[in-house]
Chain A
Amino acid sequence: MDEKRFKAKILVADDEESVREVLKTFFVRKEYDVETASQGREAIEKIESYKPDILLLDLKMPDMDGEEVLKYINDSNLKIGVIIITGHPDFIKDRKLLNRAYDYIVKPFDLDYLNNTVLTKVVLLSE
């Protein structure tokens, strides 16, 4: 697959600083444009201003959890590839909502695996 079909924008929403930093470093190396948000509300603000193609979304965040962010994206009909990244596979209350995300990956994940998931979605978005 061609990684440079277009320079996709990735938003990483996670309250854990080390997770944000490692994902930002990794995806910048892969020549993506990357922004981060440490809280749910900040994620929504950046969805509006930054307009990401891909959202790497943590489920448990202090002010607003990932499920609410996902609901906002769906209610707003935004075309964002949402990949849920969570530290506990059972921390999702609404399983139907989960189906609206592109994928669901449990931490700690392999970065190459995550990259392949992102890349597949980016290819789909660019078609």
Chain B
Amino acid sequence: MNDRKRIDQMDAVRQLAGGIAHDFNNLLTGIMGFVMLVLEDMDENDQAYSYVKEIEKSAVDCREYTGRLIFLSRDICVEKKETDINAVIDAALDEMRGYLGKDVEVSTNMQGAGGLEMDAEKIQGAVACIISDASTRKGDLESMDISGGKIEADERYLEQYTPIQEKGSYFCLRFCARGISISPDAMKTLFRPRFSSGRSRYFGYELAICREIAEKHGGYASVIPRDERTVDYYMWLPVS
């Protein structure tokens, strides 16, 4: 798929997601509002009270869904500022704690992370996307080692990491996910917008979003299976 087609496809997805989120939020306003009014009129000991509370709970879950659709519908505009990447990773891990599960071991190791210029909110979103993608892949995610450091992308480096198009200095973020695999077929369409329900936080669009965020920073993203049970997710962000 060429870049123009991919951009058009993401724009179409954005518009659709925004429209659906808007309409669902309207409907949810009615549902949640009337639920609140009904609950005000009910006795807490009434059995039906607990049923209405269940409706309220489901409506709150739906609101969380529409929040994700709104994230998906947003055009990615990047505003770079000096950022502490450690804080960004910590915030993303906090945000995604529920997706990772309590048994997944996480380690972080950042080298030379000072003075990086990036859009902290967008990079946090990209990290959340990687975590969501890893947690929905085949297998059981056992651990994630997150490491980062400055690299010099010379000709040899570009040969090894083909997604990088230009030589230069980058901050390379690597997310080594153990316990999961990606089939060769899935690798062919990895960054294409696709729909996936279930545990996926952004409906299967995680890697498409992640790549767009990296590209808007002037960087790159890639996924490289290391072996049958380990997948490395990469982001390279230019260092000025």
Q: Which residues of A contact B (CB under 8 A)?
A: 14, 16-19, 21-23, 25-26, 29, 60, 85-91, 106-109, 111
Residues of A within 8 A of B88 (CB): none
Cross-chain contact A90 with B37 (CB below 8 angstroms) = no
Tell me which of A17, A18, A88 contacts B21 (CB under 8 A).
Answer: A88
Cross-chain contact A107 with B29 (CB below 8 angstroms) = yes
| Chain A residue at minimal CB-CB distance from B27 | A18
**Smallest Cβ distance from B44 to chain A, in angstroms?**
18
| Additional A-B contacts beyond A18-B34, A87-B25 (20; CB < 8 A) | A16-B27, A18-B27, A18-B30, A18-B33, A19-B26, A60-B22, A87-B21, A87-B23, A87-B26, A87-B29, A88-B21, A88-B22, A88-B25, A88-B70, A90-B74, A91-B18, A108-B25, A108-B28, A108-B63, A111-B36
Cross-chain contact B70 with A22 (CB below 8 angstroms) = no
A61–B70 Cα distance when bound, in Å, is 19
Residues of A within 8 A of B37 (CB): 22, 25-26, 29
Query: Which 7 A-B residue pairs are closest in the complex by CB-CB distance?
Result: A18-B30, A22-B33, A87-B25, A108-B28, A87-B22, A88-B22, A107-B25
A111–B56 Cα distance when bound, in Å, is 13
Q: Indicate whether A111 sits within 8 Å of B18 (C-beta atoms), given known contacts A16-B26, A106-B25.
A: no
A6–B129 Cα distance when bound, in Å, is 51
A107–B70 Cα distance when bound, in Å, is 12
A12–B63 Cα distance when bound, in Å, is 22
Residues of B within 8 A of A89 (CB): 70
Tell me which of B24, B34, B59, B74 contacts A22 (CB under 8 A).
Answer: B34
Cross-chain contact B70 with A16 (CB below 8 angstroms) = no
Determine if B200 is an interface residue (Cβ-Cβ < 8 Å): no
Cross-chain contact B30 with A109 (CB below 8 angstroms) = no
**Smallest Cβ distance from B66 to chain A, in angstroms?**
8
Most buried by A among B24, B33, B37: B33
Determine if B32 is an interface residue (Cβ-Cβ < 8 Å): yes
Cross-chain contact A22 with B21 (CB below 8 angstroms) = no
Q: Indicate whether A107 sits within 8 Å of B73 (C-beta atoms), given known contacts A22-B33, A25-B37.
A: no
